[in-house]
């Protein structure tokens, strides 16, 4: 398989299911102007000599290789300014940067936004943003397309790439590649070149935008950390690889009205497309939400003291509990502690009472700070 385009619907579905839950060069960030027929705010690498020195293809070359000539022309157009034209439209530059994390080196080659760039998603509307990244093995070993794309191998879904809107949780629309986006990639000279398409990011320029890359097919809370106080998402040290590039967009390119409309439409679609829950699931969800998990009864015989293994993982299981049956929970202590708590309610289900009413149960995990063990037990709220 040379390259493939896929919709982000499945990626978004996987993301929601998972949640509870320096050589880079930007050359020009261009204001809208009539200097160019399809003028747009752009961010890209400039200088053919730079590409030759680090042996990367240019963004326009990547788009050409991937059979998107319209996108290639957009990248080519923005690198063809004379210095006077660049000054006229307010270009800006930044020093090159690459990020190595885990087994990979990620390089952002270019980002461009503009009208009539809907070629990857024919059903897309208005302006789009395209980004080109290169992914390499950190040890210099070339990727081989014959083995990389074998069934069962990581293939095209091996990496997550998306702009992130500052101030917005990635799993609530902040990772906008998951909102009507698409992507295609190909291995060229041992490097993976990925071209992604998404909603136009320039309307968020006054808020701020980054670009996230990680191993895995969807946004992973183990790879990235969203800070609600700063509104920024940063890379975390985890078992895979992750990186966040800050995009120096000119705040003047922002369009607060368009951004507000974007989020309004996003919330509307999320509500409009949410399927009506079956009555039993709706009841369970309501009872679980309304339960007072501070006032509970511990199910007799279910308390266990667990010691995390060498990977910090704990495994709790129970069998043949009357009215509940068997079950269990596996979790990593560091993931639990990332919430800032020392006691957690997780898992669970529904119990039918003798009088035909229903209640719920869950697993309570409590860290014993004196010795690092975890107490696990089944609990039932007293108010349901």
- Report helix, strand or coil for 154: coil
**Average of per-residue pLDDT values in the chain:** 76
What's the mean pLDDT in 161-167? 93
Of the two residues 93 and 238, the one the predictor is more confident about is 238
What's the mean pLDDT in 317-335? 83
Q: Is the pLDDT of residue 52 over 60?
A: no
Q: Is the pLDDT of residue 64 over 60?
A: yes
Model pLDDT, residue 273:
56
pTM of the model: 0.58
Residue 39: pLDDT band (50, 70, 90) is: very low
Burial of 49 (0-12, 13-18, 19+ CB in 10 A): exposed
Q: Is the pLDDT of residue 163 over 90?
A: yes
Q: Is the pLDDT of residue 119 over 60?
A: no
% pLDDT > 90, the chain? 34
Of the two residues 309 and 25, the one the predictor is more confident about is 309
Distances from the Cα of 256 to the Cα of 30, 99, 127, 205, angstroms: 18, 31, 16, 9
Query: pLDDT tens digits, residue range 305-325?
Result: 999 988 888 999 888 888 888
Q: Is the pLDDT of residue 11 over 80?
A: no
58: its two tokens: 């240019």
Cα distance between residue 245 and residue 200, in whole Å:
17
20: its two tokens: 């509870």
Cα distance between residue 231 and residue 103, in whole Å:
28
Q: Name, of 27-36, 130-139, 141-150, 172-181, the range with top average pLDDT.
A: 130-139
Cα distance between residue 177 and residue 7, in whole Å:
10
- E strands, 140-288, are 159-165, 182-188, 191-199, 209-215, 224-227, 232-235, 242-247
Model pLDDT, residue 32:
30
183: its two tokens: 């992507």
What's the mean pLDDT in 296-305? 94
Closest-CA residue to 3 (of 63, 90, 92, 45): 63
State the DSSP code for 299. Answer: P
Model pLDDT, residue 244:
95
Contact 250, 89 (CB under 8 A): no
State the DSSP code for 177. Answer: G
Query: pLDDT tens digits, residue range 182-213?
Result: 888 899 999 999 998 888 899 999 999 999 99
Residue 121: CB partners within 8 Å, gap ≥ 6?
Answer: 7, 128, 180, 181, 182, 197
Q: Name, of 14-18, 26-30, 33-37, 44-48, the range with top average pLDDT.
A: 14-18
Cα distance between residue 92 and residue 151, in whole Å:
44
Q: Is the pLDDT of residue 170 over 80?
A: yes
% pLDDT > 70, the chain? 73
Where does the chain have alpha helices with state H?
A: 9-18, 48-54, 59-65, 69-78, 83-88, 145-148, 256-273, 279-290, 333-337
Model pLDDT, residue 106:
95
Q: Is the pLDDT of residue 380 over 80?
A: yes
Cα distance between residue 68 and residue 87, in whole Å:
29
Residue 272: pLDDT band (50, 70, 90) is: low
Looking at 14-23, 161-170, 235-244, which range is the least confident one? 14-23
What's the mean pLDDT in 101-106? 94
- Count of other CB atoms within 10 angstroms of residue 94: 14
Distances from the Cα of 351 to the Cα of 294, 320, 376, 379, angstroms: 19, 14, 19, 12
Domain ranges of the chain: 6-272, 280-381
Closest-CA residue to 368 (of 315, 313, 303, 307): 307
Contact 382, 360 (CB under 8 A): no
């Amino acid at each position: 398989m040379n390259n493939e385009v896929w919709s982000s619907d499945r990626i978004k579905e996987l993301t929601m299911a998972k949640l509870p839950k320096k050589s880079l060069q930007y050359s020009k960030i261009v204001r809208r102007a009539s200097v160019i027929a399809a003028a747009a705010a752009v961010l890209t690498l400039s200088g053919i000599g730079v590409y030759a020195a680090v042996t990367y293809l240019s963004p326009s070359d990547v788009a050409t290789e991937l059979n998107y000539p319209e996108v290639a022309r957009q990248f080519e157009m923005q690198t063809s300014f004379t210095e006077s034209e660049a000054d006229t439209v307010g270009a800006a530059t930044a020093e090159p940067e690459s990020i190595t994390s885990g087994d990979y080196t990620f390089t952002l080659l270019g980002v461009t936004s503009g009208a009539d760039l809907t070629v990857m998603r024919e059903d897309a509307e208005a302006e789009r943003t395209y980004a080109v990244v290169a992914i390499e093995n950190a040890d210099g070993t070339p990727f081989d397309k014959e083995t990389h794309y074998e069934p069962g191998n990581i293939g095209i879904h091996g990496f997550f790439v998306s702009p992130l809107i500052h101030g917005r949780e990635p799993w609530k629309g902040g990772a906008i590649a998951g909102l009507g986006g698409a992507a295609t990639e190909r291995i060229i000279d041992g490097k993976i070149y990925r071209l992604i398409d998404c909603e136009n990011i320039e309307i968020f320029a006054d808020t701020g935008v980054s670009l996230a890359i990680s191993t895995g097919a969807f946004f992973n809370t183990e790879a990235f950390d969203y800070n609600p106080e700063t509104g920024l998402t940063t890379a975390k040290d985890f078992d895979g690889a992750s990186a966040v590039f800050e995009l120096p967009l000119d705040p003047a390119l922002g369009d607060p009205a368009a951004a507000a409309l974007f989020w309004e439409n996003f919330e509307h679609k999320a509500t409009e497309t949410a399927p009506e829950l079956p009555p039993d699931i709706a009841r369970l969800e309501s009872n679980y939400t309304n339960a007072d998990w501070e006032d509970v009864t511990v199910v007799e015989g279910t308390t266990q003291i667990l010691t995390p293994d060498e990977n910090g993982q704990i495994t709790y299981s129970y069998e043949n509990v009357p009215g509940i049956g068997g079950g269990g929970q596996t979790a990593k202590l560091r993931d639990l502690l990332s919430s800032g708590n020392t006691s957690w309610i997780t898992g669970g289900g529904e119990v039918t009472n003798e009088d035909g009413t229903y209640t719920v149960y869950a697993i309570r995990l409590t860290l014993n700070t004196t010795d690092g063990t975890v107490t696990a037990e089944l609990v039932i709220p007293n108010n349901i």
